[in-house]
Amino acid sequence: VGEELKEKGYGGIYNVGKGATHPPRLVIMTYDPPKDVLTEEDEEQSAITLVGKGIVYDTGGLAIKSRVGMCGMKHDMGGAAGVLGGFTAAVRLRTPRKIRLMLCLAENAIGPKSVRNDDIITQYSGKTVEINNSDAEGRLVLSDAVAHATKHFDDSDLVVDMATLTGAQLVSTGKMHAAILTNKEELEHTAVKAGLTSGDLCYPLLYAPELLKKEFNSKVADMKNSVKDRSNAQCSCAGHFIESHIDSDYIERDGGWLHVDMAGPGTKAERGTGYGVGLVLSLVGAAGFSSRN
């Protein structure tokens, strides 16, 4: 919480939320399934880690949003709400798989302590980021959590992050389908199938980090937090920013990562839709959402 995040190296979450009245938080929960629901096959499954963007209100920070653009930003915690709802339901359904939940909670507020464009911050991964857009804050908080998960959770072979991350998602995959980005082709197919099973539809983005990482080039840090060319696969770029903070040992042991940008399907008619709950339940194999049910 608050200054503790700074002391422990969570520079993304801390700097995004430090200007608000209520301090930022990183919430971590773990569900261990009851022994009586586990089969031998279940016991061999690795844990799954769910990460949610919980920006409880987004003014854009010092790169302030417009009068019209700021309205509705109470929904910028939709990713955290989705994974929390899915986690809670999975626990109540006694799902036979270990699940971890990480909620990145902050308000991107305006004040004398707010992070500034041109600031350089250090993320939990150890990488430095030049802030060139304080309104590209979601990727900063998610990167800290993904770095933590892939560094410390040795029993997890899948990290799923969910967020209302970019307006570009609606251009890429529309209002009904979330956009997904993943480092494994088979995981891409699994996610699409999970969407069809649950009704939380999703569709793949271009995956090309070797072509897109140059969009974040910085002269003074490891990277900037916002792209140079907004017309160059912007939604994919945002996901690749998060991916760049995955721990290298996790990649070496062939760990999976799935990014879900649900800015479009997360709201309808100025209300939250509950998107993400069903998708999570299908991904974790909960009763009624699993192919073996």
Active site residues: 65, 139
> How much is the CA Rg of the chain, to the nearest whole Å?
18
Which of 147, 138, 149, 124 has the alpha carbon at shortest distance from 30?
A: 149
Burial of 66 (0-12, 13-18, 19+ CB in 10 A): exposed
CB atoms < 10 A from the CB of 185, how many?
10
What is the C-alpha to C-alpha distance for residues 186 and 230, in angstroms, rounded to an integer? 29
Which are the contacts of 204, defined by CB distance < 8 A and separation ≥ 6?
A: 179, 180, 181, 182, 188, 191, 192
Q: How far is CA 4 from CA 1, 57, 186, 276, in A?
A: 5, 22, 38, 30
Give CA angle at 255 (249, 260), nearest 5°: 120
Q: What is the 3-state secondary structure (H, E, C) of 153-181?
A: CCCEEEEEEEECCCCHHHHHHCCCCEEEE
Torsion angle in degrees (nearest 10) through CA of 204, 206, 207, 208:
180
Q: How far is CA 206 from CA 18, 54, 79, 240, in A?
A: 34, 25, 21, 10
Contact 121, 131 (CB under 8 A): yes
Quick one: tokens of 6?
A: 């700074």
